[in-house]
């Protein structure tokens, strides 16, 4: 598993997300979703089917209608991004055995929102599927990178020591697989844990994790405390192993140290300082705790503002948000040796080359990315000073289009914009 989860467990059932390609990309309106009073049963979008195609074409823009959420208040002084349009639609992209253009690919890739910032100016902005500039869209595991950035601030301030164990800050996890792992190992997902992410098994660890976020669930804290087994395959620090609850451990530490909920911490430290226009929303568990690893919804431009702040070494709208050291750390690969020790998968090394501090690094380019299932990306390219955000409702949580094609398209756009400056 490379990113967030692909199953929703409810009661005794589990729904696995299909990665099949549809013959024709249809919008929520094309599917007649939620039309009628009441809508026909087969057209209703519910908490039980929201992540399944085609229902996700409607639900990903409306998460607050399905689950309790907590708002992250925006800035009182929005950062007005300058506009300098560039025609990127005809840019050619080579995708294995076929060629396409950016325009054609976006229309075929279940895109909901797509924005390109070229040296801080909006070069391209486009909405599909009924989305608008004010629409909050679920970002899934992009949330992890926000959580990691908050933790880097606590490292720098000396409030959390990266090399200390998780149990130092959360004694409630002392007897779990996390207890003797360091906070840095959890940040890098190199902590050793036996974790079953079998998505179509309602008895798997990941099914129980998501059940905790449904009404009547035990909540994420109880779920984390139930994770007691290390895996003998490797020791802490030896290999990267993508485990969905890791950022939930980080979220618990952040709440414990700051004395606030995660929404408040994000607002005070980042969201209010990068000139955001609109509130973000965190998906809450049954106990009112934010999903730190996959629960945030944001507008397209606000996600782009966050990426631009990282690209600009921690400055947004002329103000310092995070230190240059943190921004440079995010943009610098660090764990290539551990990256493919567990998976032995060509994707690890050929497409991406590293995972550190809850961020991915792409191979062959100076670019990092926050990414989530079904096609959510904040892409930061330092080679060409380009930031790209894609929000999507792809029917597949993970497939070639999401995992590999998107990065090729973004690389091609960044290279094209760079070439126009010479």
Map out the domains of the chain with their CATH numbers.
72-152+250-419 (3.40.710.10)
- Whether the CB-CB separation of 139 and 421 falls below 8 Å is answered with no
The predicted pLDDT at position 199 comes to 58
Average pLDDT over residues 168-184: 98
Q: How much of the chain exceeds pLDDT 70, in percent?
A: 94
Q: Cβ–Cβ contacts within 10 Å for residue 216, how many?
A: 9
Nearest to 202 by CA among 16, 4, 398, 396: 16
Confidence of residue 7 (pLDDT cuts 50, 70, 90): very low
Give the Cα separation of 338 and 99 in Å (integer).
Answer: 34
Q: How far apart are CA 366 and CA 412, in angstroms?
A: 13
pTM of the model: 0.94
Whether the CB-CB separation of 358 and 144 falls below 8 Å is answered with yes
Least Cα distance to 136 among 77, 55, 80, 69 occurs for 69
Which of 17-31, 314-328, 331-345, 380-394 comes out lowest in average pLDDT? 17-31
**Is the pLDDT score of 4 beyond 80?**
no
Strand partners, 69: 283
- For residue 264, give the 3-state DSSP assignment: helix
Q: What is the pLDDT of residues 262-309, one digit of tens each?
A: 999 999 999 999 999 999 999 999 899 999 999 999 999 999 999 999
Position 23 pLDDT exceeds 70: no
């Amino acid at each position: 598993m490379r990113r967030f989860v692909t199953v929703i467990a409810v009661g005794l059932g589990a729904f696995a997300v299909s990665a099949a390609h549809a013959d024709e990309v249809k919008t929520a309106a094309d599917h007649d979703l939620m039309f009628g009073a009441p809508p026909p049963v087969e057209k209703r979008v519910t908490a039980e089917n929201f992540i399944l195609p085609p229902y996700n074409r409607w639900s990903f823009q409306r998460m607050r209608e399905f689950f309790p959420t907590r708002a992250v208040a925006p800035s009182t002084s929005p950062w007005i991004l300058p506009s300098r349009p560039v025609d990127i639609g005809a840019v050619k992209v080579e995708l294995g055995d076929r060629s396409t253009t950016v325009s054609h690919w976006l229309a075929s890739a279940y895109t909901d929102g797509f924005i390109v910032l070229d040296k801080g100016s909006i070069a391209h902005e486009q909405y599909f599927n009924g989305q608008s500039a004010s629409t909050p869209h679920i970002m899934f595991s992009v949330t992890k990178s926000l959580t990691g950035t908050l933790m880097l601030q606590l490292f720098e301030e000396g409030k959390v020591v990266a090399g200390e164990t998780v149990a130092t800050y959360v004694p409630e996890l002392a007897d779990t697989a996390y207890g003797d792992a360091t906070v840095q190992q959890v940040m890098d997902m190199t902590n050793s844990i036996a974790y079953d992410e079998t998505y179509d098994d309602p008895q798997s660890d990941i099914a129980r994790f998501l059940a905790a976020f449904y009404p009547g669930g035990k909540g994420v804290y109880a779920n984390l405390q139930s994770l007691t087994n290390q895996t003998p395959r490797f020791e802490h620090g030896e290999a990267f192993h993508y485990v969905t609850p890791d950022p939930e451990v980080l979220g618990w530490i952040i709440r414990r140290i700051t004395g606030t909920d995660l929404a408040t911490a994000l607002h005070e430290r980042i969201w209010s300082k990068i000139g955001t226009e609109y509130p973000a929303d965190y998906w809450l568990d049954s106990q009112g705790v934010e999903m730190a690893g996959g629960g945030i919804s944001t507008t397209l431009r606000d996600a782009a503002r966050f990426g631009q702040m990282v690209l600009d070494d921690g400055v947004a709208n002329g103000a310092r948000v995070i230190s240059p050291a943190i921004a440079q750390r995010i943009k610098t690969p660090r764990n290539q040796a551990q990256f493919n020790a567990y998976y032995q998968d060509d994707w690890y090394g050929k497409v991406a080359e590293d995972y550190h501090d809850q961020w991915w690094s792409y191979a062959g380019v100076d670019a990092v990315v926050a990414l989530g299932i079904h096609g959510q990306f904040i892409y930061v390219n330092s080679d060409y000073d380009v930031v790209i955000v894609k929000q999507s409702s792809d029917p597949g949580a993970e497939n070639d289009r999401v995992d590999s094609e998107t990065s090729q398209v973004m690389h091609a756009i960044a290279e094209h914009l760079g070439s126009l400056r010479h």
